[in-house]
Structure 1
């Protein structure tokens, strides 16, 4: 079987752990090249690999390794973010 040379929007979104809408916005903004064929959108694998090579993305750590590094359970937002979020919610309620 031949190796894939293009990615679908959904498969790239899964690969990059984002929404398909984000991938489509990147295509529309010209940040990601795409091939359009009869309503299908395909992203060249070479472009995906090039972007991944240019972008320094830290490896996703597993839950076990995060726990071993002293990470705490619960929310990942900082207290400053929590305060801002609480203020926005309060404004909406008033």
Structure 2
């Protein structure tokens, strides 16, 4: 299991960048162990071997619809 710093070192980027990639769904989802997040090495190796395909849970159009719905709800409350 690799931590944020391990993944950042492996990819040559900052730990914060790894966190942002995970939060945005651009890399495989980590396993949460309390407050810690870890990635199984086999999952990352397979993802890298597959040329790093997108792994987002939702497509952009769904996200835009959610944002629009939230904005409309806020306007109605005012």
The interval holding the TM-score normalised by the smaller chain is 0.5 to 0.7
TM-score (norm 1): 0.49
Deviations 1:40-86 (A, max 9, x none): 11012122101221228xxxxxxxxxxxxxxxxxxxxxxxxxxxxxx
Q: Which runs of 4+ in 1 moved over 4 A?
A: none
More helix by share: 2
TM-score (norm 2): 0.58
Question: How many pairs were matched up?
Answer: 51
Residue 18 of structure 2 corresponds to residue 38 of structure 1? no
Identify which range, 9-18 or 25-34, moves more after superposition.
Answer: 25-34
The structure with higher relative contact order (CA 8 Å, sep 6+) is 2
**Structure 1 residues not aligned, in runs of 5+:** 1-5, 57-94
**Given that residues 13 and 19 in structure 1 are in contact (C-alpha distance below 8 angstroms), is that contact kept between their aligned partners in structure 2?**
yes
Residue 4 of structure 2 corresponds to residue 18 of structure 1? no
